[in-house]
């Protein structure tokens, strides 16, 4: 994932033909693909919709609708400097955000989710047997070409499974088939190889193997195994998990590092990013639930505590971008709130929600434009030096996390 990238899915039939594999099922896990909330429970939808965070989520979507949504049902990169380009992960992040709103009971967001999903067909590489999304295209759907990113494709699959959870009938089937197609590209594109003992490359240039790329792939394979029972998804998940634990965990801090360089150098970049570790918290929660290994729930809790030791700024009550960059960004930093909400859903400890809420409150105080109600891209800890671009991905993540929080606060 990046702020700049080079410049779907095909019909459901094509997507299905890509991914169908004859494979005997193992013992199938539950068909529900989200973490069970047996401890924390869910508040009534009426309570969600009265939440100040739900109202802000709606206001954020209104900003997106008025400033970033195109007549083609794609989303501009931002409101100023890149208004004719659409990025894959920006578009799927908005799908992810709208799925969260549908989940908490507002079905008015479903058409936005479904229309953007249909537009994503323009970014799919139909000329390749393994498919895969290109990173960028023109907002009208033309011009998709160039590099593909493993993290973007994995996030697309994860977002589609959230949309799958809140859909029915043919629409639900299409979302599942598209998530399978994203996984198929990961498995068959050569993005995983034996360099450094395994792991997915960030992109088709193969410049590095990052934590977040592999953590998102881990989430996708776990959830597909949960839904389908196909054991090759489980086996991929186990391999990814083993590689991450063996290569990317910094035992001193209990956090996961940024990446290992390509080009044969093998240099490890030990910076710690909030969103890398948030992704790993969610992955371990899924691993513990879906593979019935409660030790990974404990690992997720321990990782969450390590985030709150190292990645939390206790003066300003916000997650930092990373350990070497003294700035705050709505998307990458608020990912920490999503992880904390997922931890609360699992164990009911309200301390997780406190971190999630304070982090979101910071964004609303320091990075929200009080006139148009959109979010700015970066600022320093104290709110100074605001970078006033209003990026689509930042809006999507603020909408999503505030929607999720509105069930509880």
Tell me whether residue 367 is in a domain. Answer: no
User: Where on the phi/psi map is residue 41: left (φ > 0), alpha (ψ -120 to 50), or beta?
Assistant: left
Mean pLDDT, residues 343-367 = 98
> Which residue is associated with the tokens 């086996």?
235
Instruction: Answer for the pair 77, 85: CB distance below 8 angstroms, yes or no.
Output: yes
Helix, strand, coil % over all residues of the chain, rounded to 5: 55, 10, 35
| Domain annotation covers residue 391 | no
What pLDDT score does 45 carry? 57
| 134 in a structural domain | yes
Q: What pLDDT, on a 0 to 100 scale, did the predictor assign at position 104?
A: 95
Which structural domain range is residue 126 located in?
1-22+70-189
- Nearest CA-CA partner of 133 in 173, 72, 180, 88: 88
**Coil, helix or strand at residue 75:** strand
pLDDT at 106 over 90: yes
Does any domain span residue 87? yes
Structural domain includes residue 110: yes
CA distance 244 to 199: 8
**DSSP code at position 322:** B
Q: How far is CA 257 from CA 95, 247, 252, 274, 338, in A?
A: 28, 9, 11, 10, 19
What is the C-alpha R_g of the chain? 19
Q: How many CB atoms are closer than 10 A to CB 231?
A: 15
CB burial of residue 97 (10 Å; 0-12, 13-18, 19+) = buried
d(CA 186, CA 164): 20
How far is Cα 136 from Cα 118, in angstroms, rounded to an integer? 16
Alpha-carbon distance of 76 to 260, in angstroms, equals 31
C-alpha 365/C-alpha 50 separation (Å) is 20
In a domain, 127, yes or no: yes
pLDDT at 40: 41
Residue 1 — pLDDT band, cuts 50, 70, 90? confident
Residue 28: what pLDDT?
A: 39
Cα separation values, 159 from 107, 228, 247, 251, 279, Å: 17, 17, 27, 31, 13
Cβ neighbours of residue 361 closer than 8 Å, sequence gap 6 or more: 317
Percent over 70 (pLDDT), the chain: 89
Is residue 404 in a domain? no
> Which uninterrupted H or E stretch holds 203?
none
SS3 327: strand
What pLDDT digit, counting tens, does each position of 287-344 carry?
999 999 999 999 999 999 999 999 999 999 999 999 999 899 999 999 999 999 999 9
Cα–Cα separations (whole angstroms), residue 113 to 118, 123, 152, 219: 9, 16, 17, 21
- The tokens of 157 are what? 């699959």
Q: Where are the alpha helices (DSSP H) in 189-230?
A: 211-228
- Does the pLDDT value for residue 112 go beyond 60? yes
Class of residue 150 by CB neighbours under 10 A (exposed 0-12, middle 13-18, buried 19+): buried
| 3 secondary structure, DSSP code | S
Structure tokens at 100: 């969260």
**What integer pLDDT is reported at residue 265 of this predicted model?**
84
E strand intervals along 241-322: 249-250, 255-256, 259-261, 268-269, 312-313, 318-319
Total domains present in the chain = 1
Q: Identify the helix (H) or strand (E) that includes residue 138.
A: strand 136-138
Report pLDDT digits (tens) over 172-190. Answer: 999 999 999 999 999 999 9
For 193-247, how does the pLDDT look when each residue is reduced to its tens digit (9 = 90+)?
999 999 999 999 999 999 999 999 999 999 999 999 999 999 999 999 999 999 9
Residue 47: the pLDDT is 61
Predicted pLDDT at 349: 98
Average pLDDT over residues 87-106: 98
What pLDDT digit, counting tens, does each position of 8-61 carry? Answer: 333 333 343 333 333 333 333 433 333 344 444 444 455 678 999 999 999 999
For the chain, how many helices (H) and strands (E)?
14, 11
Q: What are 127-179's pLDDT values in tens digits? A: 999 999 999 999 999 999 999 999 999 999 999 999 999 999 999 999 999 99
Look at residue 270 and tell me if it is in a domain. Answer: no
């Amino acid at each position: 994932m990046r702020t700049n990238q080079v410049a779907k899915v095909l019909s459901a039939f094509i997507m299905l033909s890509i991914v169908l594999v004859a494979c005997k099922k193992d013992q199938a896990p539950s068909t529900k693909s989200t973490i069970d909330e047996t401890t924390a429970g869910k508040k009534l939808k009426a309570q969600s919709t009265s939440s100040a965070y739900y109202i802000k989520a709606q206001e954020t979507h209104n900003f997106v609708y008025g400033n970033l949504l195109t007549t083609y049902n794609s989303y501009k990169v931002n409101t100023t400097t890149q208004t004719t380009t659409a990025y894959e992960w920006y578009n799927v992040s908005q799908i992810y955000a709208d799925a969260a709103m549908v989940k908490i009971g507002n079905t008015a967001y479903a058409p936005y989710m479904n229309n953007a999903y249909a537009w994503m067909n323009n970014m799919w590489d139909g000329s390749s047997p393994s498919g895969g999304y290109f990173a960028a295209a023109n907002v009208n759907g033309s011009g998709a070409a160039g590099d593909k990113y493993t993290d973007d494709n994995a996030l697309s699959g994860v977002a589609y499974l959230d949309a799958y959870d809140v859909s029915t009938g043919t629409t639900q089937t299409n979302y599942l088939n598209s998530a399978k197609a994203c996984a198929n590209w990961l498995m068959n594109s050569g993005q995983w190889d034996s360099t450094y003992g395994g792991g997915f490359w960030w992109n088709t240039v193969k410049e590095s193997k990052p934590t977040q790329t592999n953590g998102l792939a881990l989430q996708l394979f776990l959830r597909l195994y949960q839904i389908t029972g196909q054991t090759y998804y489980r086996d991929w998940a186990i391999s990814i998990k083993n590689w991450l634990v063996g290569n990317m965990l910094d035992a001193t801090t209990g956090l996961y590092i940024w990446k290992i360089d390509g080009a044969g150098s093998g240099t490890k970049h030990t910076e710690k990013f909030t969103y890398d570790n948030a992704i790993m918290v969610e992955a371990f929660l899924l691993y513990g639930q879906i593979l019935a290994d409660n030790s990974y729930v404990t690992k997720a809790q321990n990782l969450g505590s390590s985030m709150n030791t190292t990645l939390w700024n206790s003066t300003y009550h916000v997650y930092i971008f990373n350990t070497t960059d003294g700035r705050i960004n709505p998307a990458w930093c608020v990912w920490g709130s999503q992880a904390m909400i997922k931890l609360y859903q699992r164990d009911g400890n309200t301390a997780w929600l406190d971190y999630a809420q304070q982090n979101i409150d910071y964004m609303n105080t320091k990075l929200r434009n009080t006139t148009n109600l959109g979010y700015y891209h970066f600022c320093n800890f104290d709110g100074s030096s605001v970078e006033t671009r209003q990026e689509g991905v930042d809006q999507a993540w603020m909408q999503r996390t505030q929607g999720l929080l509105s069930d509880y606060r």
